[in-house]
Amino acid sequence: MDIHKVGVIGAGQMGNGIAHVMALAGYDVALNDIDQDALDTAIARIEKNMARQVGRDQITEEAMQTAMARIRTTLDVAEVGDCDLVIESATENEAVKNKIIEGLIPHLRPETIVTSNTSSISITRLAARTDRPEKFMGFHFMNPVPLMKLVELIRGIATDEETYKTCLGVVERLDKTAASAEDFPAFIVNRILIPMINEACYTLYEGVGNVRSIDQAMKLGANHPMGPLELADFIGLDTCLAIMNVLHDGLADTKYRPCPLMTKYVEAGWLGKKAGRGFYDYRGETPVPTR
């Protein structure tokens, strides 16, 4: 199937990045959200990020202007109905995703492919809420989308080969690399990454090291570009906790038990960089460890 128009549902951190790369790759993009402020913020962020690419000679000014013109925003999910491919990119909450998907389906053409940018939730379960499980799959981008080269493609139990090959073609047109994953909790990247972050939280919780020493140990001792607690703040502690809960519930293994300290930070609203505080306090000129 040829893809010309792409719908992106959710204009947050991931959604605006997906719209950005799709527009630069030549797709017409319909960016949908329930909040006009979120849409306005997304367009401003896309423009700022593309301008940065122009400044680095990664794209031309003409390419930026052409790409920005390809993006239209809408508060009405029905206006996504003419798209060939839809990517749901709302918060990592299954109930929210189900509600969005169920509201979307009546507006779509029969041949439209529906995907989710979920980082952990069962693709088979999400697909079962649609009228087209064979045309549904996981399309998981990494954050920040314009910079990260990987996309996880996750087939649900009913996903057909044509859908997979079509989505693979989109990934290749984006000049990214696809990793095919089976539909098990958290797939590949987060099945490995988030438990590492959770273990770093336990290392902090048990007093083995403080925030700074844990992050320095992994950056200098394992050559990680970011420490695990710094990375957790960047991802969002609410997202990390949600993925740990998916792993714990889906695999019933105590090794995936979320660290109580992570839970406590989320309960406090200390969700990381986006909230101003997490394992670091970002409200001053430089981040300061909170423990």
Residue 236 is predicted with a pLDDT of 95
CATH number of 5-182: 3.40.50.720
* CA–CA gap between residue 110 and residue 188 (Å, rounded): 31
DSSP-derived secondary structure letter, 157 = T
pLDDT of 221 reads 98
**Mean pLDDT of successive 10-residue segments in the chain (291 residues)?**
95 96 98 97 97 96 98 96 96 94 96 96 96 97 95 97 98 97 96 98 98 98 97 96 95 97 98 97 96 93
List, by residue number, the catalytic residues: 119, 140, 152, 190
pTM of the model: 0.90
**pLDDT at residue 258 in the model:** 98
CATH of 191-289, one of 1.10.1040.10, 3.40.630.30, 3.40.50.1370, 3.30.70.260: 1.10.1040.10
Binding residues: 10-15, 33, 92, 97, 119, 143, 274
Instruction: Report the DSSP pairing between strands 280-281 and 288-289.
Output: antiparallel
pLDDT of residue 1: 79
Half-sphere exposure of 157 (CA within 13 A, CB side): 6
Cis-peptide into 144, omega within 30 deg: yes
> What are the residue boundaries of the structural domains of the chain, listed by start?
5-182, 191-289
Name every residue whose Cβ is closer than 8 Å to that of residue 267 and which is 6 or more positions away in sequence: none
